[in-house]
Amino acid sequence: MPEAIISAKNVVKKFGDLEAVAGINFEVKAGEIFAFLGPNGAGKSTTIKMLTTMLQPTSGELYLAGHDVTKQREEARQSFGIVFQDPALEEELTAYENMRFHAVLYKVLKTQQAKRIEELLKLVDLWERRDSLVRTYSGGMRRRLEIARGLLHHPKILFLDEPTLGLDVQTRNILWNYVEKLSKHEGMTIFFTTHYLDEAEEVAQRIAIIDHGSIIAEGSVKQLTKQTGTKSLEQAYLKLTGEAVRDDVSEDNNGLNVRSVMRNR
Amino acid sequence: MKNSDIYILWWRQMKRYLRTRSRIIGAIGQPILFLLALGYGIGSVYKKAGQGNYIHFLVPGVITQTILFSGVFWGIQILFDKRFGFLKEMLVAPVSRLRILVGNALGGTTIALMQGIFVFLISLIFGFRPYSWPLLTVSFGIMAAMSLALTSFGAGIASMVEDFQGFQAINNFLIFPLFFLSSALYPLTSAPTVLRILTEINPLTYIVDGLRYTMIHQSHFGLGKDLIVLAATLVVCVGFAVNRFEHLEA
Protein backbone atom coordinates (compact mmCIF):
# COMPACT_ATOMS: atom_id res chain seq x y z
CA MET A 1 0.00 0.00 0.00
CA PRO A 2 1.41 3.38 -0.96
CA GLU A 3 1.87 5.91 1.79
CA ALA A 4 -0.70 8.64 2.47
CA ILE A 5 0.21 11.87 0.64
CA ILE A 6 -2.54 13.92 2.28
CA SER A 7 -3.55 13.30 5.85
CA ALA A 8 -5.80 15.11 8.31
CA LYS A 9 -5.83 14.24 12.00
CA ASN A 10 -8.57 15.59 14.28
CA VAL A 11 -8.76 18.85 12.34
CA VAL A 12 -11.04 21.47 13.87
CA LYS A 13 -11.83 24.95 12.59
CA LYS A 14 -13.95 27.37 14.59
CA PHE A 15 -15.12 30.81 13.51
CA GLY A 16 -16.11 32.34 16.82
CA ASP A 17 -18.78 30.01 18.21
CA LEU A 18 -19.42 28.34 14.90
CA GLU A 19 -17.64 25.04 14.42
CA ALA A 20 -17.19 24.79 10.64
CA VAL A 21 -15.03 21.66 10.76
CA ALA A 22 -15.54 19.41 13.77
CA GLY A 23 -12.53 17.16 14.11
CA ILE A 24 -12.15 15.37 10.79
CA ASN A 25 -9.77 12.53 9.94
CA PHE A 26 -8.93 11.26 6.49
CA GLU A 27 -6.09 10.07 4.31
CA VAL A 28 -5.49 10.18 0.58
CA LYS A 29 -2.97 7.81 -0.96
CA ALA A 30 -0.38 8.91 -3.48
CA GLY A 31 -1.71 8.72 -7.02
CA GLU A 32 -5.33 8.49 -5.95
CA ILE A 33 -8.24 10.47 -7.39
CA PHE A 34 -10.18 11.55 -4.34
CA ALA A 35 -13.53 13.35 -4.31
CA PHE A 36 -14.59 15.44 -1.35
CA LEU A 37 -18.35 15.93 -1.42
CA GLY A 38 -20.90 17.66 0.74
CA PRO A 39 -23.80 20.12 0.72
CA ASN A 40 -23.26 23.88 0.77
CA GLY A 41 -21.90 25.08 4.08
CA ALA A 42 -20.85 21.57 5.16
CA GLY A 43 -17.19 22.51 5.62
CA LYS A 44 -15.77 21.57 2.21
CA SER A 45 -14.28 24.94 1.33
CA THR A 46 -12.97 25.48 4.85
CA THR A 47 -11.18 22.12 4.67
CA ILE A 48 -9.65 22.92 1.28
CA LYS A 49 -8.55 26.33 2.56
CA MET A 50 -6.84 24.71 5.53
CA LEU A 51 -5.17 22.08 3.36
CA THR A 52 -3.85 24.75 1.02
CA THR A 53 -2.47 27.01 3.81
CA MET A 54 -5.04 29.76 3.33
CA LEU A 55 -6.61 29.19 6.74
CA GLN A 56 -5.05 28.02 9.99
CA PRO A 57 -6.85 25.14 11.71
CA THR A 58 -7.98 25.84 15.27
CA SER A 59 -6.52 22.47 16.26
CA GLY A 60 -5.39 19.21 14.67
CA GLU A 61 -2.71 18.27 12.17
CA LEU A 62 -2.54 18.40 8.39
CA TYR A 63 0.18 16.90 6.24
CA LEU A 64 0.84 17.35 2.54
CA ALA A 65 3.55 15.16 1.00
CA GLY A 66 5.10 14.72 4.42
CA HIS A 67 5.13 18.43 5.28
CA ASP A 68 3.23 19.82 8.24
CA VAL A 69 0.93 22.38 6.61
CA THR A 70 0.99 24.81 9.54
CA LYS A 71 4.70 24.58 10.31
CA GLN A 72 6.36 23.98 6.94
CA ARG A 73 4.17 26.23 4.86
CA GLU A 74 6.54 26.93 2.00
CA GLU A 75 7.46 23.27 1.48
CA ALA A 76 3.78 22.33 1.67
CA ARG A 77 2.90 25.05 -0.85
CA GLN A 78 5.57 23.88 -3.26
CA SER A 79 4.05 20.39 -3.21
CA PHE A 80 0.60 21.21 -4.57
CA GLY A 81 -1.12 22.99 -7.43
CA ILE A 82 -4.63 24.37 -7.12
CA VAL A 83 -7.52 25.42 -9.29
CA PHE A 84 -9.66 27.67 -7.14
CA GLN A 85 -13.43 27.73 -7.10
CA ASP A 86 -13.45 31.30 -8.45
CA PRO A 87 -11.04 32.28 -11.20
CA ALA A 88 -7.74 33.61 -9.86
CA LEU A 89 -6.10 34.92 -13.01
CA GLU A 90 -4.70 38.38 -13.74
CA GLU A 91 -6.92 39.66 -16.52
CA GLU A 92 -4.56 42.40 -17.61
CA LEU A 93 -1.83 39.88 -18.35
CA THR A 94 -1.70 37.47 -21.27
CA ALA A 95 -1.95 33.73 -20.73
CA TYR A 96 1.79 33.43 -21.22
CA GLU A 97 2.47 36.20 -18.73
CA ASN A 98 0.20 34.59 -16.15
CA MET A 99 2.19 31.39 -16.58
CA ARG A 100 5.48 33.24 -16.30
CA PHE A 101 4.35 34.99 -13.12
CA HIS A 102 3.51 31.64 -11.56
CA ALA A 103 6.73 30.00 -12.75
CA VAL A 104 8.85 32.67 -11.08
CA LEU A 105 6.90 32.63 -7.80
CA TYR A 106 7.22 28.83 -7.67
CA LYS A 107 10.94 28.96 -8.47
CA VAL A 108 10.75 26.96 -11.70
CA LEU A 109 14.32 26.98 -13.06
CA LYS A 110 14.82 29.75 -15.57
CA THR A 111 16.28 27.35 -18.13
CA GLN A 112 13.13 25.22 -17.99
CA GLN A 113 10.46 27.93 -17.81
CA ALA A 114 9.90 28.52 -21.52
CA LYS A 115 9.82 24.82 -22.36
CA ARG A 116 7.47 23.94 -19.52
CA ILE A 117 5.07 26.81 -20.28
CA GLU A 118 4.93 25.83 -23.95
CA GLU A 119 4.33 22.19 -23.10
CA LEU A 120 1.44 22.96 -20.76
CA LEU A 121 -0.22 25.61 -22.91
CA LYS A 122 -0.16 23.08 -25.74
CA LEU A 123 -1.64 20.43 -23.44
CA VAL A 124 -4.68 22.61 -22.75
CA ASP A 125 -4.87 23.90 -26.35
CA LEU A 126 -4.10 27.52 -25.52
CA TRP A 127 -0.70 27.84 -27.17
CA GLU A 128 -2.13 29.68 -30.19
CA ARG A 129 -3.82 32.20 -27.88
CA ARG A 130 -0.88 32.63 -25.53
CA ASP A 131 -0.44 36.32 -26.28
CA SER A 132 -4.08 37.33 -25.78
CA LEU A 133 -5.04 39.10 -22.58
CA VAL A 134 -6.92 36.80 -20.22
CA ARG A 135 -9.62 39.49 -20.16
CA THR A 136 -10.64 38.27 -23.61
CA TYR A 137 -10.84 34.60 -22.57
CA SER A 138 -14.07 32.62 -22.14
CA GLY A 139 -14.88 30.80 -18.92
CA GLY A 140 -13.73 27.46 -20.30
CA MET A 141 -10.44 28.88 -21.57
CA ARG A 142 -9.77 30.43 -18.18
CA ARG A 143 -10.34 27.12 -16.45
CA ARG A 144 -7.95 25.35 -18.82
CA LEU A 145 -5.35 28.04 -18.26
CA GLU A 146 -5.71 27.67 -14.51
CA ILE A 147 -5.17 23.93 -14.77
CA ALA A 148 -2.07 24.45 -16.89
CA ARG A 149 -0.83 26.98 -14.37
CA GLY A 150 -1.50 24.67 -11.44
CA LEU A 151 0.69 22.01 -13.06
CA LEU A 152 3.58 24.30 -13.92
CA HIS A 153 5.80 23.56 -10.93
CA HIS A 154 5.40 19.74 -11.10
CA PRO A 155 3.17 19.45 -8.03
CA LYS A 156 2.63 16.09 -6.40
CA ILE A 157 -0.96 16.96 -5.53
CA LEU A 158 -3.54 18.86 -7.56
CA PHE A 159 -6.49 20.44 -5.76
CA LEU A 160 -9.56 21.19 -7.86
CA ASP A 161 -12.29 23.12 -6.04
CA GLU A 162 -15.48 22.77 -8.10
CA PRO A 163 -13.47 22.96 -11.31
CA THR A 164 -16.39 22.36 -13.68
CA LEU A 165 -18.77 24.94 -12.23
CA GLY A 166 -20.38 26.88 -15.07
CA LEU A 167 -18.65 24.94 -17.85
CA ASP A 168 -20.36 23.34 -20.83
CA VAL A 169 -20.43 19.56 -21.25
CA GLN A 170 -17.67 19.53 -23.87
CA THR A 171 -15.25 21.47 -21.70
CA ARG A 172 -16.12 19.34 -18.69
CA ASN A 173 -15.32 16.16 -20.58
CA ILE A 174 -12.01 17.54 -21.80
CA LEU A 175 -11.13 18.64 -18.29
CA TRP A 176 -11.78 15.25 -16.71
CA ASN A 177 -9.86 13.59 -19.52
CA TYR A 178 -6.79 15.68 -18.66
CA VAL A 179 -7.22 14.89 -15.01
CA GLU A 180 -7.41 11.14 -15.56
CA LYS A 181 -4.41 11.30 -17.88
CA LEU A 182 -2.39 13.16 -15.24
CA SER A 183 -3.26 10.62 -12.63
CA LYS A 184 -2.45 7.69 -14.86
CA HIS A 185 0.74 8.91 -16.57
CA GLU A 186 2.29 11.14 -13.94
CA GLY A 187 0.98 9.46 -10.81
CA MET A 188 -0.38 12.74 -9.59
CA THR A 189 -2.75 12.76 -6.63
CA ILE A 190 -6.01 14.55 -7.38
CA PHE A 191 -8.23 16.00 -4.65
CA PHE A 192 -11.42 17.55 -5.95
CA THR A 193 -14.82 18.85 -4.87
CA THR A 194 -17.90 19.04 -7.04
CA HIS A 195 -21.66 19.29 -6.84
CA TYR A 196 -22.07 17.13 -9.96
CA LEU A 197 -22.29 13.66 -8.47
CA ASP A 198 -22.11 11.94 -11.86
CA GLU A 199 -18.61 13.39 -12.26
CA ALA A 200 -17.53 12.06 -8.90
CA GLU A 201 -19.06 8.68 -9.66
CA GLU A 202 -17.21 8.43 -12.94
CA VAL A 203 -13.81 9.83 -12.02
CA ALA A 204 -13.16 9.34 -8.32
CA GLN A 205 -11.51 6.22 -6.97
CA ARG A 206 -12.47 7.11 -3.45
CA ILE A 207 -14.98 9.53 -1.99
CA ALA A 208 -15.50 11.24 1.34
CA ILE A 209 -18.78 12.94 2.23
CA ILE A 210 -18.71 15.76 4.75
CA ASP A 211 -21.77 17.24 6.45
CA HIS A 212 -22.12 19.62 9.41
CA GLY A 213 -18.36 19.66 9.74
CA SER A 214 -17.90 15.89 10.08
CA ILE A 215 -17.08 13.16 7.61
CA ILE A 216 -20.17 10.95 7.52
CA ALA A 217 -19.09 8.38 4.94
CA GLU A 218 -15.96 7.34 3.10
CA GLY A 219 -15.11 4.74 0.47
CA SER A 220 -15.42 3.81 -3.19
CA VAL A 221 -18.69 4.33 -5.07
CA LYS A 222 -19.37 0.60 -4.67
CA GLN A 223 -18.82 0.71 -0.94
CA LEU A 224 -21.00 3.78 -0.50
CA THR A 225 -23.92 2.37 -2.48
CA LYS A 226 -23.61 -0.97 -0.70
CA GLN A 227 -23.49 0.70 2.69
CA THR A 228 -26.66 2.68 2.01
CA GLY A 229 -28.44 0.03 -0.02
CA THR A 230 -28.82 2.33 -3.03
CA LYS A 231 -28.08 2.08 -6.74
CA SER A 232 -26.15 5.25 -7.55
CA LEU A 233 -23.85 7.70 -5.83
CA GLU A 234 -26.53 10.35 -6.02
CA GLN A 235 -29.04 8.18 -4.17
CA ALA A 236 -26.43 7.24 -1.59
CA TYR A 237 -25.49 10.87 -1.15
CA LEU A 238 -29.08 12.00 -0.65
CA LYS A 239 -29.73 9.21 1.80
CA LEU A 240 -26.70 10.26 3.82
CA THR A 241 -27.14 14.01 3.76
CA GLY A 242 -30.95 14.28 3.57
CA GLU A 243 -33.12 16.16 1.10
CA ALA A 244 -33.29 19.49 2.89
CA VAL A 245 -31.86 22.56 1.17
CA ARG A 246 -28.95 24.26 2.94
CA ASP A 247 -28.28 27.92 3.39
CA ASP A 248 -25.08 28.83 1.73
CA VAL A 249 -23.06 31.54 3.36
CA SER A 250 -21.38 32.95 0.31
CA GLU A 251 -18.68 35.55 0.68
CA ASP A 252 -18.26 36.07 -2.99
CA ASN A 253 -21.18 38.12 -4.14
CA ASN A 254 -21.87 40.64 -1.42
CA GLY A 255 -21.20 44.33 -1.86
CA LEU A 256 -21.05 46.26 -5.04
CA ASN A 257 -20.66 45.34 -8.61
CA VAL A 258 -16.91 45.44 -8.54
CA ARG A 259 -16.43 45.60 -12.26
CA SER A 260 -18.31 48.86 -12.56
CA VAL A 261 -16.23 50.25 -9.70
CA MET A 262 -13.07 49.27 -11.55
CA ARG A 263 -14.19 51.00 -14.70
CA ASN A 264 -14.92 54.22 -12.90
CA ARG A 265 -11.54 54.51 -11.26
CA MET B 1 18.13 35.08 -8.94
CA LYS B 2 17.52 35.81 -5.32
CA ASN B 3 14.86 38.47 -5.57
CA SER B 4 13.11 37.31 -8.72
CA ASP B 5 9.88 36.78 -6.76
CA ILE B 6 9.79 40.44 -5.69
CA TYR B 7 10.72 41.46 -9.22
CA ILE B 8 7.87 39.50 -10.83
CA LEU B 9 5.33 40.98 -8.41
CA TRP B 10 6.62 44.46 -9.29
CA TRP B 11 6.62 43.57 -13.00
CA ARG B 12 2.97 42.55 -12.87
CA GLN B 13 1.97 45.87 -11.26
CA MET B 14 3.85 47.78 -13.96
CA LYS B 15 2.24 45.74 -16.75
CA ARG B 16 -1.18 46.43 -15.27
CA TYR B 17 -0.44 50.11 -15.03
CA LEU B 18 0.87 50.47 -18.56
CA ARG B 19 -2.12 48.58 -19.97
CA THR B 20 -4.80 50.74 -18.39
CA ARG B 21 -4.30 54.02 -20.18
CA SER B 22 -7.56 55.51 -18.98
CA ARG B 23 -6.26 55.33 -15.43
CA ILE B 24 -2.98 57.01 -16.37
CA ILE B 25 -4.81 59.84 -18.07
CA GLY B 26 -7.26 60.15 -15.17
CA ALA B 27 -4.54 60.22 -12.55
CA ILE B 28 -2.60 62.93 -14.35
CA GLY B 29 -5.61 64.82 -15.69
CA GLN B 30 -6.92 65.77 -12.26
CA PRO B 31 -3.76 67.55 -11.07
CA ILE B 32 -3.48 69.33 -14.40
CA LEU B 33 -7.04 70.54 -13.97
CA PHE B 34 -6.13 71.82 -10.51
CA LEU B 35 -3.07 73.58 -11.91
CA LEU B 36 -5.10 75.22 -14.67
CA ALA B 37 -8.29 76.08 -12.82
CA LEU B 38 -6.76 77.10 -9.52
CA GLY B 39 -3.42 78.29 -10.83
CA TYR B 40 -4.91 80.70 -13.31
CA GLY B 41 -8.24 81.23 -11.54
CA ILE B 42 -6.92 82.13 -8.11
CA GLY B 43 -3.47 83.19 -9.27
CA SER B 44 -4.41 86.81 -9.99
CA VAL B 45 -6.17 87.27 -6.62
CA TYR B 46 -3.22 85.65 -4.89
CA LYS B 47 -0.85 88.06 -6.58
CA LYS B 48 -2.96 91.10 -5.65
CA ALA B 49 -2.91 89.93 -2.04
CA GLY B 50 0.84 90.30 -2.22
CA GLN B 51 1.67 86.60 -1.93
CA GLY B 52 3.58 86.25 -5.22
CA ASN B 53 3.25 83.58 -7.88
CA TYR B 54 0.45 81.11 -7.05
CA ILE B 55 1.44 78.52 -9.65
CA HIS B 56 4.85 78.27 -8.02
CA PHE B 57 3.14 77.81 -4.68
CA LEU B 58 0.70 75.26 -6.08
CA VAL B 59 3.07 72.90 -7.92
CA PRO B 60 4.45 71.10 -4.83
CA GLY B 61 0.87 70.75 -3.57
CA VAL B 62 -0.39 69.29 -6.82
CA ILE B 63 2.53 66.85 -6.97
CA THR B 64 1.62 65.76 -3.44
CA GLN B 65 -1.97 65.35 -4.53
CA THR B 66 -0.93 63.12 -7.43
CA ILE B 67 1.22 60.91 -5.24
CA LEU B 68 -1.39 60.78 -2.49
CA PHE B 69 -4.14 59.56 -4.80
CA SER B 70 -2.02 57.21 -6.93
CA GLY B 71 -0.11 55.80 -3.96
CA VAL B 72 -3.20 54.99 -1.93
CA PHE B 73 -5.00 53.70 -5.03
CA TRP B 74 -2.19 51.34 -6.03
CA GLY B 75 -1.87 50.18 -2.45
CA ILE B 76 -5.58 49.45 -2.42
CA GLN B 77 -4.95 47.24 -5.44
CA ILE B 78 -4.76 44.43 -2.90
CA LEU B 79 -8.48 44.88 -2.32
CA PHE B 80 -9.16 44.45 -6.03
CA ASP B 81 -6.95 41.36 -6.04
CA LYS B 82 -8.94 40.00 -3.13
CA ARG B 83 -12.23 40.55 -4.97
CA PHE B 84 -11.04 39.18 -8.29
CA GLY B 85 -9.35 36.20 -6.71
CA PHE B 86 -5.80 36.88 -7.83
CA LEU B 87 -4.68 37.46 -4.25
CA LYS B 88 -5.18 33.73 -3.58
CA GLU B 89 -2.76 32.88 -6.36
CA MET B 90 -0.16 35.03 -4.61
CA LEU B 91 -0.92 33.91 -1.06
CA VAL B 92 -0.66 30.15 -1.72
CA ALA B 93 2.63 30.58 -3.59
CA PRO B 94 5.72 29.43 -1.68
CA VAL B 95 6.74 33.02 -0.96
CA SER B 96 6.49 34.76 2.42
CA ARG B 97 3.78 37.31 3.07
CA LEU B 98 6.38 39.99 3.62
CA ARG B 99 7.96 39.47 0.21
CA ILE B 100 4.55 39.52 -1.49
CA LEU B 101 3.77 42.81 0.21
CA VAL B 102 7.17 44.27 -0.68
CA GLY B 103 6.84 43.33 -4.36
CA ASN B 104 3.37 44.80 -4.63
CA ALA B 105 4.23 47.93 -2.64
CA LEU B 106 7.33 48.60 -4.71
CA GLY B 107 5.18 48.40 -7.85
CA GLY B 108 2.72 50.92 -6.42
CA THR B 109 5.55 53.15 -5.25
CA THR B 110 7.15 53.18 -8.68
CA ILE B 111 3.86 54.09 -10.31
CA ALA B 112 3.04 56.87 -7.82
CA LEU B 113 6.53 58.32 -8.16
CA MET B 114 6.37 58.20 -11.96
CA GLN B 115 3.05 60.05 -11.93
CA GLY B 116 4.47 62.65 -9.54
CA ILE B 117 7.48 63.23 -11.77
CA PHE B 118 5.23 63.41 -14.80
CA VAL B 119 3.13 66.15 -13.19
CA PHE B 120 6.34 67.99 -12.33
CA LEU B 121 7.42 67.86 -15.98
CA ILE B 122 4.04 69.17 -17.08
CA SER B 123 4.26 72.01 -14.59
CA LEU B 124 7.46 73.08 -16.37
CA ILE B 125 5.32 73.63 -19.47
CA PHE B 126 3.03 75.86 -17.40
CA GLY B 127 6.00 78.04 -16.59
CA PHE B 128 7.11 76.52 -13.30
CA ARG B 129 10.83 76.87 -12.56
CA PRO B 130 12.41 75.21 -9.52
CA TYR B 131 14.43 77.39 -7.19
CA SER B 132 17.53 75.26 -7.53
CA TRP B 133 18.11 72.31 -9.85
CA PRO B 134 20.58 70.49 -7.53
CA LEU B 135 18.12 70.78 -4.61
CA LEU B 136 15.55 69.06 -6.82
CA THR B 137 17.25 65.72 -6.10
CA VAL B 138 16.09 66.13 -2.50
CA SER B 139 12.57 66.86 -3.80
CA PHE B 140 12.62 63.58 -5.73
CA GLY B 141 13.85 61.79 -2.61
CA ILE B 142 10.90 63.22 -0.64
CA MET B 143 8.55 62.17 -3.44
CA ALA B 144 9.91 58.61 -3.40
CA ALA B 145 9.59 58.30 0.38
CA MET B 146 6.08 59.74 0.24
CA SER B 147 5.13 57.28 -2.54
CA LEU B 148 6.28 54.32 -0.46
CA ALA B 149 4.53 55.59 2.67
CA LEU B 150 1.21 56.18 0.93
CA THR B 151 1.27 52.92 -1.05
CA SER B 152 1.92 51.08 2.21
CA PHE B 153 -0.89 53.00 3.85
CA GLY B 154 -3.26 51.96 1.05
CA ALA B 155 -2.10 48.34 1.28
CA GLY B 156 -2.70 48.30 5.02
CA ILE B 157 -6.20 49.72 4.57
CA ALA B 158 -6.95 47.24 1.77
CA SER B 159 -5.97 44.35 4.03
CA MET B 160 -8.51 45.53 6.60
CA VAL B 161 -11.64 46.42 4.62
CA GLU B 162 -13.80 43.81 2.99
CA ASP B 163 -15.54 45.60 0.15
CA PHE B 164 -15.67 48.64 -2.04
CA GLN B 165 -18.08 50.57 0.16
CA GLY B 166 -15.26 50.62 2.69
CA PHE B 167 -12.92 51.88 0.00
CA GLN B 168 -15.28 54.72 -0.98
CA ALA B 169 -15.68 55.73 2.65
CA ILE B 170 -11.93 55.90 3.07
CA ASN B 171 -11.64 58.03 -0.03
CA ASN B 172 -14.25 60.50 1.16
CA PHE B 173 -13.50 60.67 4.86
CA LEU B 174 -9.76 60.17 4.93
CA ILE B 175 -7.99 60.92 1.68
CA PHE B 176 -9.85 64.10 0.72
CA PRO B 177 -9.59 65.67 4.21
CA LEU B 178 -5.90 64.73 4.33
CA PHE B 179 -5.41 66.53 1.06
CA PHE B 180 -7.48 69.65 1.77
CA LEU B 181 -5.95 70.03 5.22
CA SER B 182 -2.38 69.73 4.01
CA SER B 183 -1.64 73.33 3.00
CA ALA B 184 -1.29 72.01 -0.55
CA LEU B 185 -3.69 74.66 -1.84
CA TYR B 186 -3.27 77.62 0.53
CA PRO B 187 -0.53 79.03 2.79
CA LEU B 188 -0.78 78.42 6.53
CA THR B 189 0.29 81.90 7.54
CA SER B 190 -3.12 83.46 6.96
CA ALA B 191 -5.29 80.43 7.89
CA PRO B 192 -7.68 80.68 10.88
CA THR B 193 -6.60 78.94 14.10
CA VAL B 194 -8.82 75.83 13.94
CA LEU B 195 -7.80 75.14 10.38
CA ARG B 196 -4.17 75.73 11.27
CA ILE B 197 -4.27 73.24 14.14
CA LEU B 198 -5.93 70.58 11.95
CA THR B 199 -3.34 71.20 9.29
CA GLU B 200 -0.44 71.05 11.70
CA ILE B 201 -1.37 67.58 12.98
CA ASN B 202 -1.56 66.26 9.40
CA PRO B 203 1.74 64.63 8.42
CA LEU B 204 1.06 65.39 4.78
CA THR B 205 1.45 69.11 5.59
CA TYR B 206 5.10 68.56 6.45
CA ILE B 207 5.67 66.61 3.26
CA VAL B 208 4.18 69.44 1.18
CA ASP B 209 6.27 71.87 3.17
CA GLY B 210 9.44 69.87 2.50
CA LEU B 211 8.69 69.81 -1.20
CA ARG B 212 8.01 73.52 -1.13
CA TYR B 213 11.31 74.19 0.58
CA THR B 214 13.32 72.19 -1.93
CA MET B 215 11.38 73.41 -4.97
CA ILE B 216 10.58 77.06 -4.36
CA HIS B 217 12.60 77.85 -1.23
CA GLN B 218 9.55 78.60 0.88
CA SER B 219 8.91 76.83 4.15
CA HIS B 220 6.68 77.07 7.18
CA PHE B 221 8.35 74.55 9.49
CA GLY B 222 11.88 74.24 8.11
CA LEU B 223 13.32 71.28 6.21
CA GLY B 224 14.67 69.51 9.30
CA LYS B 225 11.28 69.17 10.94
CA ASP B 226 9.70 68.22 7.60
CA LEU B 227 12.14 65.36 7.06
CA ILE B 228 11.71 64.03 10.59
CA VAL B 229 7.92 63.92 10.20
CA LEU B 230 8.34 62.28 6.77
CA ALA B 231 10.63 59.59 8.19
CA ALA B 232 8.28 58.89 11.09
CA THR B 233 5.28 58.71 8.73
CA LEU B 234 7.16 56.27 6.49
CA VAL B 235 8.02 53.98 9.40
CA VAL B 236 4.45 54.02 10.77
CA CYS B 237 2.85 53.39 7.36
CA VAL B 238 5.18 50.51 6.45
CA GLY B 239 4.73 48.98 9.91
CA PHE B 240 0.97 49.28 9.57
CA ALA B 241 0.98 47.59 6.15
CA VAL B 242 3.23 44.71 7.27
CA ASN B 243 1.11 44.12 10.37
CA ARG B 244 -2.24 44.17 8.57
CA PHE B 245 -1.08 42.12 5.59
CA GLU B 246 0.28 39.39 7.87
CA HIS B 247 -3.18 39.03 9.40
CA LEU B 248 -5.07 39.03 6.13
CA GLU B 249 -7.13 35.91 5.45
CA ALA B 250 -7.87 35.14 1.83
Instruction: Give tens-digit pLDDT for A137-185.
Output: 998 899 999 999 999 999 999 999 998 887 888 888 888 988 898 888 8
Q: What is the pLDDT of residues B11-56, one digit of tens each?
A: 999 999 999 878 788 888 888 888 888 888 888 888 877 777 888 8
Question: Three-state DSSP class for A68?
Answer: strand
Task: Categorize the per-residue pLDDT at A75 as very low, low, confident or very high, splitting at 50, 70 and 90.
Answer: very high
**Nearest beta carbon to residue B163 from set A73, A82, A256:** A256
Are the Cβ atoms of A92 and B20 closer than 8 angstroms?
A: yes
pLDDT top residue among A258 and A71: A71
* A257 → chain B, closest CA residue: B164
- Would the pLDDT of A265 be above 50? no
Question: What does the pLDDT read at residue A168?
Answer: 85
Tell me whether A135 touches chain B (CB under 8 Å): no
Best of B2, B86, B99 to disrupt the A interface by mutation (most A CBs within 10 Å)?
A: B86
User: Residue A84: its chain B contacts at CB < 8 A?
Assistant: 85, 88-89
- Residue A158 near residue A48 (C-beta atoms within 8 A): no
For all residues of chain B together, what is the average pLDDT? 90
User: Residue B74: its chain A contacts at CB < 8 A?
Assistant: none
Are the Cβ atoms of B94 and A93 closer than 8 angstroms?
A: no
Best of A101, A108, A137, A161 to disrupt the B interface by mutation (most B CBs within 10 Å)?
A: A101
Choose among B89, B115, B107: nearest CA to B154.
B107
Identify which of A248-257, B89-98, B189-198 has the greatest average pLDDT. B89-98
- Would the pLDDT of B61 be above 60? yes
Q: What is the pLDDT of residues B199-245, one digit of tens each?
A: 999 999 999 999 999 999 888 899 999 999 999 999 999 999 999 99
Are the Cβ atoms of A92 and B85 closer than 8 angstroms?
A: no
Question: Three-state DSSP class for B175?
Answer: helix
Choose among A89, A90, A56, A93: nearest CA to A71.
A56
Q: What is the pLDDT of residues A206-234, one digit of tens each?
A: 999 999 999 999 999 889 888 888 888 98
Contacts of A39 (CB under 8 A, 6+ apart): A211, A241, A246
- Would the pLDDT of A255 be above 70? no
Question: What does the pLDDT read at residue A80?
Answer: 95
* DSSP-H helix ranges across chain B: 4-19, 21-41, 43-48, 54-84, 86-91, 97-125, 136-160, 164-170, 176-180, 193-200, 203-216, 223-246
Tell me whether A16 touches chain B (CB under 8 Å): no
Best of A104, A153, A250 to disrupt the B interface by mutation (most B CBs within 10 Å)?
A: A104
Burial code of B189-222, b = ≥16 C-beta within 10 A, e = fewer?
eebeeeebeebeebbbbbbbbbbbbbbbeebbbe
- Would the pLDDT of A260 be above 60? no
* A49 → chain B, closest CA residue: B250
Q: Is B137 exposed, middle or buried (0-12, 13-18, 19+ CB in 10 A)?
A: exposed
User: Residue B23: its chain A contacts at CB < 8 A?
Assistant: 265
Question: What does the pLDDT read at residue A164?
Answer: 87
